[in-house]
Amino acid sequence: MNEDKTPRVDGIAIIGLAGRFPGAQDMEQFWDNLKNGVEAISVFSEEELASAGIDAALAKIPGFVNAGSVLSDVDMFDAAFFGFSPRDAETTDPQQRLFLECAWESLENAGYRPDTYPGLIGVYGGSDQSTYMYQIYADPERLATLDVGMVGIGNDKDYLTTLTSYKMNLRGPSIAVQTACSTSLVAVSLACQSLWSYQCDMAIAGGVAINVPQKKGYFYQPGGILSPDGHCRTFDASGQGTVVGNGVALVVLKRLAEAIADGDHIRAVIRGTALNNDGSMKVGFGAPSVEGQAQAIAMAHAMAGIDPDRISYVEAHGTATILGDPIEFGALNKVFSARTSRKQYCAMGSLKSNVGHLSSAAGAAGLIKTVLALEHEAIPPSLHFKTPNPHINFADSPFYVNTQLSPWKASARPRLAGVSSFGVGGTNAHVVVEEAPVIRSEPSSSHS
């Protein structure tokens, strides 16, 4: 195990971040919102719903919730910069447009240009189903003037990563990932595997979820995943679900030894990842599983070569559902309590309490939140937690919910965190993240 701050070189360095989040267009604004406990969930007026085409009668049906988390400027795109004709740009799903823009920004943030970097850059990512395509097909006169093939390419999940690779001339693996809510963290795990097996030299990984129109609200169903009042109360007794959200979250990854040698700005290090599926031994297809989640978490710990006793923060999936929260806690408690008897030493939180459920972008967004917390040596508050879910016994566990901005205390060993993301259908992902190492040597090469 890594007992001091000497960097183990077999990790994966996170060297770039990019994204769009509700209430935040960049990392600085995103962190400001997190540390200040901002809930970036909007309540839509009758006028906003009407402009989105929502029938006033529909909005009066019991169970309708006029809330959601919204991205700004999703209709804006630098088409000429990426070589799109105006018509092709207009018919391309905003998910593909913003994924492409953020992919470029993520490499910029890492200090690299795709046209001068000599190695192979892979792209691993996924998106939600295109709702933009429905708007195009709903207008037959407009559709008749378009290239239907290009409409398909610009709106199909299959082409999200390959279009990015084409437009940026990236020659590593280009893989579309689809595992529902866990998509983007699965993409990160697969990108790490690609780097460890030398299929590429850098990788862009993450996801995007943009449903248009954004300001449309949703319907609450008792026992479902969505909240009845537009707030996500993760691990709280009053938690009844999450909120529909939109976002983009991408990270740039590189083998740690090479990142150190190249003098990269290392923002954090991925020490271990794990993926699995729950199988059929659970209540239903959409239900989570203690055994499945626990196995994924334990495998990630084993790969990282660490005891859970060392982990001081967990970014939870945290949908605030009546079924999901106790199962997620049960899985974590099972893994941690098997290796430690310490109580309430590990903080927990969930980004969903701030921005709702970012669907295909959720896991990578939680990872970015955790990286920023490591960099700032502070754990931001998880919102709306007052009374613990009655099926969760925090007092007799290693965990507590962090409800205020708290210093992330240092020790003789690097800070460690876990990030979880669980998809409907049972594909679980867990990542162990370590704070960036202190590099004392001079860089041996440039980024040219």
Reported as a single tens digit per residue, the pLDDT across 367-387 is 999 999 999 999 999 999 999
% residues pLDDT > 70 (the chain): 96
**How far, in Å, CA of 434 to CA of 6, rounded?**
12
| Residues contacting residue 134 through CB under 8 Å, at least 6 positions apart | none
- CB 359 within 8 Å of CB 181: yes
Q: What pLDDT does 139 receive?
A: 85
- The candidate with the shortest Cα–Cα distance to 143, out of 97, 90, 75, 95, is 90
Question: In Å, how far from its chain's centre is CA 417?
Answer: 15
Tokens representing 214 are 């954004």
* Domains of the chain: total: 1
pLDDT confidence of 252, banded at 50, 70, 90?
very high
The β-bridge partners of 431 are: 273, 419
- 291: in domain: yes
Question: Do residues 304 and 419 touch, judged by C-beta distance below 8 A?
Answer: no
Q: What distance in Å separates the CA atoms of residue 331 and residue 268, rounded to the nearest whole number?
A: 25
Establish if 379 belongs to a structural domain.
yes
> Would you say residue 442 lies in a domain?
no
Supply the range of the domain harboring residue 346.
12-435
In a domain, 2, yes or no: no
**From the centroid of its chain, how far is CA 159?**
20
- For 259-277, the pLDDT digits (tens) are 999 999 999 999 999 999 9
Q: Is residue 5 part of a domain?
A: no
CA distances from 82 to 99, 311, 440 (A): 12, 42, 39
For residue 138, is pLDDT > 90?
no
Strand residues in 268-386 grouped as ranges (E): 268-277, 313-315, 346-349, 378-379
Helices (H) and strands (E) in the chain, counts: 14, 17
Burial class (CB in 10 A: 0-12, 13-18, 19+), 145: exposed
Contacts of 13 (CB under 8 A, 6+ apart): 253, 254, 255, 256, 259, 260, 264, 266, 267, 268, 269, 270, 436
CATH of the domain at 322: 3.40.47.10
pLDDT of 209 above 60 = yes
Are 321 and 239 contacting, i.e. CB atoms less than 8 angstroms apart?
A: yes
Could you identify the residue written with the tokens 């008792």? 222
Query: pLDDT averaged over the chain?
Result: 94
The confidence score (pLDDT) of residue 445 equals 52
Report if residue 117 sits inside a domain. Answer: yes
pLDDT at position 34 over 90: yes
d(CA 230, CA 68): 7
Please determine, for residue 141, whether its predicted confidence score (pLDDT) is greater than 90.
no
* DSSP-assigned letters across all residues of 123-177: EEEEEPPPSHHHHHHT-HHHHTTS-HHHHHHHH-GGGHHHHHHHHHT--S-EEE-
Q: Distance from first CA to last CA of the chain, Å, rounded?
A: 35
- Per-residue pLDDT tens over the stretch 161-175: 999 999 999 999 999
Q: What is the DSSP letter of 24?
A: B
**254 falls within a domain:** yes
Residue 410 belongs to some domain of the structure: yes
Is residue 3 over pLDDT 80? no
Tell me the C-alpha distance between 329 and 334, whole Å.
Answer: 8
What is the pLDDT at residue 147? 85
